[in-house]
Structure 1
Amino acid sequence: MTIDLADIIKAYDVRGTVPDQLSPDVARAIGVAFARVVAAPEGATRVVVGHDMRESGPELVDAFTAGVTAAGVDVVRIGRCSTDGLYHASGALDAPGAMFTASHNPAVYNGIKLCRAGARPVGQDTGLADVRELAQRLLDDPSTDPSDDDAVTPGTVSDVDTLADYAAFLRGLVDVSGIRPLKVVVDAGNGMAGYTVPAVLGTAAGLPALPLDVVPLYFELDGSFPNHEANPLDPKNLEDLRAAVVEHDADLGLAFDGDADRCFVVDEHGDPVSPSAVTALVGLREVAKELEAGRTPTVIHNLITSRAVPDLLQAAGATTVRTRVGHSFIKAQMAQHDAVFGGEHSAHYYFRDFFFADTGMLAALHVLAALGGQPHPLSALAEMYSPYVASGEINSTVTDAAAATERVRDAYASAYPQADVDRLDGLTVAHWDGHPQWWFNLRASNTEPLLRLNVEAADEDIMVKVRDDVLSLVRTEDA
C-alpha cells in the first residue's frame, strides 16, 4: 500500500518513522520531485546532500541521490554534517540542498530539510507542497519515473568534505581569539555537535587554538541516543550538562540538538539561560555592528519570544519584525527585510552573514565572545536580558483544539476588552500596554492533538494567574 505523503511532508520539512513512513522508495521519489520542482526550474545543475548520525541516513541518502540523478541533476554528497553545515555548503556552492535528519526526534525517525540554492527555504508555500504532490504521483504511478526516459541524461555523483571550510567560515564571522580564557562544557547529546564542535571550537579542522577549555559530554556519534534525547528544549535533557558545569567549575555550558542547528545555554550555576535572552544578547551585538557600518538594522523574532527582545533591540536603534513560529517563515522574513539577525524561543538563531539561515554554532560563538569580552559571569549578563517572567511552553492534550482556542478567546475578549488580540500564529492576547502587564499565545501543534501555551508577565504572580486561568479554560471540555 502506498503511503500518503501528507502524513510526513508538513509545513517546512519531511519527518517520519523509518521504514514504514520514510522508506528508500519514498526518499527516491522525493529526490526526483526535488530535482524537477526546485533544482531544474532555477537552473541548478547540482544538489548538495548531507546526513546526520542516524543509522538510516546513508541508505536514504543513496535512494534520494538516485532520484535526483535519474532526473538529470548532479549530486554533491558531503556525508555526515550538521544541518547548518548543509546550509553552509548550499550557500558556498550556490546549490539547492537536502539534509537528512530528524533533529531531536527518537532514533526510529528520520527526515529531510530542503533548501534552494544559497540556503533559501523550501516550505509549504515555497515549493514543498509541489514536491509532495509530484512525489506522490511518482509513488502512485511508477511509470512516470524519469529513469525510463531515454532523453534524460543521468546526473553524476561526487563526494566533497566541507567541514574545514564550514569551521573557517564561522570563525571568520566572530573573533573569539582575544577573549579571556573560558571553560565550557558542551553536551552534544550523541548528535552532530560531537563532529562540529571539535572543528569550530577546537583544532580538528586545522584552525588555531582558542582560549577555551572544552569539556565534552556525549561526543560519540550515535543515532540511538544512548544517554538522553538530543532535545535540549526538554529540561530533563539538560540535567547532565547542568551537573557537569557545576562539577567542573565551568563558565558556561552549551547543549545542541541532534542535528546541531539549535544551541541552548546554561550559566556558571548550571541554570538555563532563556533563548529569548540569547536572542537579545546576540541581536544587540549584530545591531551594533550594523550601526557601526552605517546601516539601519532589522531583527526578526517570532511571536513567543520575550517582549524584552523588541524592547531592547528597538531601544538600541533596530527595527524589529514579529513573525510566526517556524524556520521557513523566519528565513523568508529575514530575506524580505534584509534582516541582520533573527531569533526564535526554540533556540534557532538566524544570521544574514550565514545566508539568512539558522546556525546554533554561530550563536554559541557570539555568546562566548560576549562573555569572554568582559569580566562578569554569564548569570549577570543573562539577567540584563531577562526582565520579565515566562511560563515556558506548556502542552495540553485536547480533543478539539479549535473549540478550546475559541473558548479562551471568548473569555478574554469579555474580561479584557482593551487587550490586543491577533491570529498571526494561533491566538495571541496581549495586555502589555495596560496594568498588569501580561500576554499569552496559544498555538495548535501541526502533528499532535495538542495546544501549546506560552505566557509572559511583568512578575511571577501575574504570570501564574494568567497561566492557570488559560489552562483551566483549555482543559475544560464543553459539556
Structure 2
Amino acid sequence: MSDLSRIVKAYDVRGTVPDQLNETVARALGAAFVRTLKEYGDKADRIVVAHDMRESSPGLAQAFAEGATASGATVLHAGLASTDMLYYAAGALDLPGAMFTASHNPAEYNGIKMCRAGAAPVGQDTGLTQIRDYAQELLDSGEAEKERAEKPIERRDLLADYAAHLRTLVDLSDIRPLKVVVDAGNGMGGYTVPAVLGDAVLPPLPLEIIPMYFELDGSFPNHEANPLNPANVVDLQNAVREQGADLGLAFDGDADRCFVIDERGEPVSPSAVTALVAARELAKYPGATIIHNLITSSAVPEIVRENGGEPVRSRVGHSFIKGEMARTNAVFGGEHSAHYYFRDFWFADTGMLAAMHVLAALGEQSRPLSQLAHEFERYVSSGEINSTVDDQTAKLVEVKQAYVNADTDELDGLTVRFDDGAWVNLRASNTEPLLRLNVEAPTEERMIALRDEVLALVRS
C-alpha cells in the first residue's frame, strides 16, 4: 500500500517510480485535486495537465487526468511542457493545473507540481495536505482504481502561445547579435528554447543558438539536469570558451530554472542575475517592490534601493516568495537557487524569462557579460555547505549563543550579521539531519575565516 506521506512534500509530490508513485497513485491524486479545489471554493470544473520528457510522465499525467474527470472536471491536456509553460497555461487560461516532472532529480523519480487557477501555488498550507489525505483514503479503500475518465480529455499544443507571450514581455528583436550556447541537459529546455529563442515557431531573433543535449531523454545520458551542481555545467563552460560565445545558459530538467555562464566560461551568480533583472524591472515599474530570499547576496537589496525600489526579505522556498509577492504586489522575486518570479507571469517562476532579461541587458550594450555582471557582484559567497548533526535545534542554539553580541534574527534558521557587512545563515533541512550553512563577506579572506569558524562550531 502506498504511503503518500513519504512523497507529498512541502510544495509538491516527488517519489520513485513505480514503488512510490505510479498510475494508481496519480489517479487518486487527480481525483483528490479536484475534490480539494471544490472544497476551497476554487474553480474546479476544468483543469490543465502537462508533463516532461521522463518515460513515466505521459502515463502518470493520463492517469491523473482520468481521476480528475471522474471527479467532475474537464481536462485540457497540453502534452509536453516545461513547468513554466504549465504556469503559463494556468495563468493565461485561468485554470488550475498539474505538471508531471521531478525537475532535476534522477531518472527513477517523478513528481507533480500543482497550482490553482491563475498559477497560484498549492503547498502544504494551501491544499496539498488535504489532497494527500483524500488520495490516501481512495488508495486505502481500493476506490482509486475506479476513478476512471468519464469525459473526453481535450488535447492542445500551447508551445507557440507560450513563446509568443514571453516575447511580449522582453523585446529581443533590436539587440546586437549574440552567440549563445544552451545546455538543456536532455530536459525540457530542448523543447522550449527553439520556440522562444529560436525560429521554430516565431520569427528569428539576432541570436545564434548553439544547442547542447537538446534531445529529450529522461534517462539523462550526458549529465544530471541539475545546474546547481558545478560538475553539471563543465561541458557548457568548455563549449562557451571553445565557441567564443557571448554567454551560456543551462536549464534544469523541467526548465523552470536557468543558470548563466559568462564569455570566459565563469558562472554568473543567481544573486547577480536577481539584481540585474531587478534593476530592469524597476526601470519599467519605478518604486516597485522586489522580493529576495535571505540567502541572496546583500548586493541585491542594496542595488534595489539604489534603483529606487523597495526590497523585501523572505524565507527560502517558492511558497514563501510567491506569498510575499502576492502580499506586496512585487514586480519580481529572486532566489539563490536560480528561481526567478515575475508579476507579469502571474507571480510564477520562469527561468526562460530571466534568461531573456540577461540576453536583453547584454545585447543592449557593448561590454562582455563578465563586465556587465561585475556591476552586480559585490561580495564573496561560500555557497551552501551541508553538515550532518544529531540535534539541529540544539546546535542552532549553541551557534546563536556564540554570537550573542552580534545582530541575529530567526526568520529562516539563524542569521548572524556583522558590522563589516559579513553575514551567516544556518538553516535546518526539513527532510534530513542536516544544517545548511551560507556565508557572505566583503572579501574572500573574511568569508573563509568566518566560514571555518562557524563550521568548527557546527561540527564540534
Q: TM-score, normalised by structure 2?
A: 0.97
Aligned to 2:257: 262
* 3-state SS of 1:121 partner: coil
State the Cα distance separating 1:143 from its structure 2 match: 4.6
Query: What is the 5 A alignment of 1:315-354?
Result: 315-354=306-345
Aligned to 2:44: 44
Aligned to 2:449: 465
Amino acid aligned to 2:72 = G
State the Cα distance separating 1:72 from its structure 2 match: 0.7
CA separation in 2, counterparts of 1:284 and 1:367? 11
Aligned to 1:204: 200
User: Size of the alignment, in residue pairs?
Assistant: 459
Partner deviation per Cα, 1:348-369 (whole Å, 9 max, x = no partner): 0000000110000000000000
Q: TM-score, normalised by structure 1?
A: 0.93
Pick one of 136, 151, 158 that aligns with 2:154: 158
Partner deviation per Cα, 1:447-473 (whole Å, 9 max, x = no partner): 222221111011111111111111111
CA separation in 1, counterparts of 2:155 and 2:459? 52
Mean alpha-carbon deviation: is it higher for 107-116 or for 59-68? Answer: 59-68
CA separation in 2, counterparts of 1:325 and 1:311? 19
CA separation in 1, counterparts of 2:257 and 2:73? 31
State the Cα distance separating 1:171 from its structure 2 match: 0.5
CA separation in 1, counterparts of 2:146 and 2:53? 30
CA separation in 1, counterparts of 2:55 and 2:146? 29
Aligned to 2:33: 34
State the Cα distance separating 1:147 from its structure 2 match: 4.6
- The answer on 1:289 being equivalent to 2:284 is yes
Aligned to 1:170: 166
Aligned to 2:414: 427
State the Cα distance separating 1:398 from its structure 2 match: 2.3
The sequence identity of aligned pairs, in percent, is 66
Amino acid aligned to 2:159 = L
Question: Given that residues 95 and 117 in structure 2 are in contact (C-alpha distance below 8 angstroms), is that contact kept between their aligned partners in structure 1?
Answer: yes
Question: Given that residues 100 and 112 in structure 1 are in contact (C-alpha distance below 8 angstroms), is that contact kept between their aligned partners in structure 2?
Answer: yes
Mean alpha-carbon deviation: is it higher for 325-334 or for 394-403? Answer: 394-403
- The answer on 1:372 being equivalent to 2:367 is no
CA separation in 2, counterparts of 1:53 and 1:144? 25
CA separation in 2, counterparts of 1:147 and 1:266? 47
Question: Given that residues 52 and 101 in structure 1 are in contact (C-alpha distance below 8 angstroms), is that contact kept between their aligned partners in structure 2?
Answer: yes
Partner deviation per Cα, 1:72-126 (whole Å, 9 max, x = no partner): 1111110110000000011111100000011000000001000000100001111
Amino acid aligned to 1:177 = S
CA separation in 2, counterparts of 1:91 and 1:280? 26
Partner deviation per Cα, 1:61-80 (whole Å, 9 max, x = no partner): 12111110110111111011
Aligned to 1:445: 429
Aligned to 2:394: 403
State the Cα distance separating 1:315 from its structure 2 match: 1.6
Change (3 A) 1:138 1:161: same
Query: What runs of 5+ residues in structure 1 fail to find an aligned partner?
Result: none
State the Cα distance separating 1:202 from its structure 2 match: 0.6
State the Cα distance separating 1:307 from its structure 2 match: 0.5
Question: Given that residues 39 and 96 in structure 1 are in contact (C-alpha distance below 8 angstroms), is that contact kept between their aligned partners in structure 2?
Answer: no
State the Cα distance separating 1:187 from its structure 2 match: 0.3
CA separation in 2, counterparts of 1:428 and 1:231? 27
CA separation in 1, counterparts of 2:295 and 2:23? 37
Pick one of 274, 281, 298 that aligns with 2:289: 298
Question: Given that residues 39 and 47 in structure 1 are in contact (C-alpha distance below 8 angstroms), is that contact kept between their aligned partners in structure 2?
Answer: no
Question: Given that residues 24 and 145 in structure 2 are in contact (C-alpha distance below 8 angstroms), is that contact kept between their aligned partners in structure 1?
Answer: no
Aligned to 1:195: 191
What CA RMSD, in Å, does the superposition of the two structures yield over aligned residues?
Answer: 1.4
Query: What runs of 5+ residues in structure 2 fail to find an aligned partner?
Result: none
CA separation in 2, counterparts of 1:173 and 1:75? 28
CA separation in 1, counterparts of 2:102 and 2:413? 25
Partner deviation per Cα, 1:177-199 (whole Å, 9 max, x = no partner): 10000001000000000000000
State the Cα distance separating 1:144 from its structure 2 match: 8.4
Aligned to 1:8: 7
Change (3 A) 1:165 1:39: farther
Aligned to 1:273: 268
Change (3 A) 1:29 1:179: same
Pick one of 300, 314, 320 that aligns with 1:309: 300
Aligned to 2:383: 392
Amino acid aligned to 1:87 = Y
Question: Given that residues 39 and 46 in structure 1 are in contact (C-alpha distance below 8 angstroms), is that contact kept between their aligned partners in structure 2?
Answer: no
State the Cα distance separating 1:39 from its structure 2 match: 5.2
Mean alpha-carbon deviation: is it higher for 323-332 or for 35-44? Answer: 35-44
